[in-house]
Chains A and B, each alone.
Chain A
């Protein structure tokens, strides 16, 4: 292995941004392109597949073999026209992602599985996905050439520090820091913890999700309700209720666009997560139920963002992608043949407040 970088997108500055100044890169491996498949070929390949096989095949989106590099499996996801990949550490090792490129480079983690991440290597973007031992993969989309992957290892001569550090999208502080009063103003412990935990994860996207959750799930007291509705009926501004919308509106366009890009990434990840749930259907298995619940929570995270984007009249791509997710995944959830009986306080609240929320249709309250 040598430290040769053979890509203009892996110049020293790029490597520095990815935290890879003290790492050795392997030779580039071209990520296979998608190829067209007929419906019959797709059916045959699907019938042959087991849940362990990672090749991707779809009658609409073609097929693409998985590749293994540096101990990580990389395969395409069942989404969109773009190239979205899932990377998984076969041994369950936690993965860390560093990204560089134009704007906010979309990637997301799997909330139920720290050894799995999703990336969308748009043109001129680069990702470093690292394992706990400092080895990993750099993925680069070279404009006009394709997507390449490089295995890397830490330079043994360098200081003992993992070359890629975990960083969440939007690491700059959100507008309000510390969290504004209206974001902490709830007297239900579980909701308070949910919101504050999300804020503590850092990043603009997580803050926006926390805002959306508080906005939707907090139950207002009688005085606030009466005052708010009286104000609305008389055409006056509503005290405090508009705070989440004003917060979102006050972000600059680039910040909102980054939130929406991250939202699209999460939708893409959800398509894949639900695909796995469908292929590995096992209603009584604890792990399957945990993964289902985690996926349903992510859908609920997106609902608040959806409302905020609608309020400012933006986020068309995110709104469309959520609508498509609801159509396809909603149908899968409706097709489950018996009660799943997930126990979850958050989704019970959602079901109570929003009868049409398909992602809350399988829950019951904790005892």
Chain B
């Protein structure tokens, strides 16, 4: 029995279950528990965790899977053993965080995705940080994961986006060009750590309009819609490439990570970045810019 089969099929055993089913579920439970024990040893190496803590986390995750099962083959779920390991490692990390949070030993990052900082996924892989990217690295070795992310980034901007541009322009002249402008705007916003609020203000100023709260709110909503459509177009293209066999599941996952890190706007301005640059930035033409100063200069401020 493979790990993915155990993951999909595990469920509670009732008194009326036939012997064959009980045997199968017994095997599934052993496979999952072994995997979880290995993961717990790896993920909970810190001295803050005892052997008993690791046992607790293993039992917690295993029992949750059993109680809520069978899971079946859910859309978007892991399809291979490596992907299941990635899923289980996240579950182990979540359970270990819950354990620590209950003990209130020390501050631990919450699962608040809003506080996630946009950082290059490849850099984070190199730094060995446990992140949402780690499942990708769990499935393939780290070097391959790095190469995959770089390749996916290149493919996204050099092939996928131009293909979408051409398709949109073919249907409606200019639509593809507007899509490309939106993608560039998103990349710039993320690169310069601009919030949606910043973008709305800049957009109003560029149009020579008053910057008042109601106009900012309306412009924010309009930007959200435009950005959402652009991201959706990229996701649809990636899914189409997968269905057509042009890319595989690993590449899909890697490309989605790139989208999530490079085409995803922060909720609020990063006040630190707005005041001083940590390192030089380049604009779309590869010129070094002064960042915030240039933005202010462009707006006439």
Contact = CB atoms under 8 A, between A and B. Distances in A.
Interface stretch (B37-45, B259-267, B276-284): B259-267
Interface in A313-367: 319, 322-324, 326-327, 330-332, 334-339, 341, 348, 351-356, 358, 361-362, 364-365
Given A232-B66, A331-B239, A323 B267 contact: no
B94 A337 contact: no
Nearest to A348: B111
**Residue picked from B63, B77, B256, most chain A C-beta under 10 Å:** B63
Contact of B22 (A235, A284, A324): A235
Interface string B68-96: 11111011111000000001001100110
B210 to A, nearest CB: 19
Contacts of B110: 364-365
Central interface residue in A39, A220, A306, A354, by most chain B CB within 10 Å: A354
Interface in B206-259: 217, 220-221, 224-225, 227-229, 231-232, 235-236, 239, 256
Interface string A202-224: 00000000000001101010101
A245 to B, nearest CB: 6
Nearest to A336: B228
A32 to B, nearest CB: 27
Contacts of A311: 11, 69-70
Given A229-B66, A236-B13, A331-B235, A338 B72 contact: no
Interface in A67-113: none
Interface stretch (B24-32, B138-146, B152-160): B24-32
Highest count of chain B CB atoms <10 Å: which of A332, A337, A353: A337
A180 interface: no
A339 B29 CA distance: 37
Given A43-B171, A228-B66, A281 B56 contact: no
Contacts of A237: 13-15, 17
B57 to A, nearest CB: 11
B232 A355 contact: no
Contacts of B270: none
Contacts of A233: 26, 29-30, 33
A191 interface: no
A209 to B, nearest CB: 14
Secondary structure of the B contact surface, majority rule: helix
A353 B111 contact: no
Contacts of A306: 72, 74
B60 interface: yes
B67 interface: yes
Interface residues of B, number: 66
Interface string A261-290: 000000000000000001001111100000
Contact of B14 (A228, A242, A355): A242
A284 B219 CA distance: 12
B172 A358 contact: no
A97 to B, nearest CB: 30
B186 interface: yes
A271 to B, nearest CB: 14
Interface residues on A, range: 35 or more
A194 interface: no
Given A281-B228, A337-B224, A356 B77 contact: yes
A309 B170 CA distance: 45
Interface string A231-257: 111111110011001100100000000
A224 B64 CA distance: 11
A310 B221 contact: no
A324 B76 CA distance: 11
A5 interface: no
A216 B12 CA distance: 12
B220 A351 contact: no
A307 B70 contact: yes
A336 B94 CA distance: 24
B76 A229 contact: no
Nearest to B19: A235
Contacts of B69: 307, 311
Contacts of A236: 13
B239 A229 contact: no
A215 B224 contact: no
Given A235-B26, A237-B15, A337-B228, A220 B67 contact: yes
B114 interface: yes
A238 B263 contact: no
Contact of B256 (A220, A229, A334): A334
A143 interface: no
A310 B114 contact: no
Contact of A356 (B11, B74, B114): B74
B2 interface: no
Contact of A362 (B77, B113, B196, B239): B113
Contacts of A339: 113-114, 266-267
Given A235-B23, A355-B91, A365-B112, A229 B75 contact: no
Kindly name the residue among A220, A278, A356 whose own CB sees the greatest number of chain B CB atoms within 10 A. Answer: A356
B170 to A, nearest CB: 12
A335 B12 contact: no
A225 interface: yes
Nearest to A313: B70
B161 interface: no
A242 B229 CA distance: 44
16 contacts: A215-B67, A229-B63, A237-B13, A238-B12, A304-B68, A311-B69, A319-B72, A331-B236, A341-B114, A341-B267, A351-B111, A356-B78, A358-B76, A364-B110, A364-B112, A364-B114
| Nearest 4 interchain pairs by C-beta | A337-B227, A326-B75, A242-B14, A335-B232
Given A242-B13, A283-B224, A338-B264, 14 more contacts: A224-B63, A225-B62, A228-B12, A229-B59, A232-B12, A238-B12, A238-B66, A281-B225, A283-B221, A284-B220, A284-B221, A322-B75, A334-B256, A355-B90
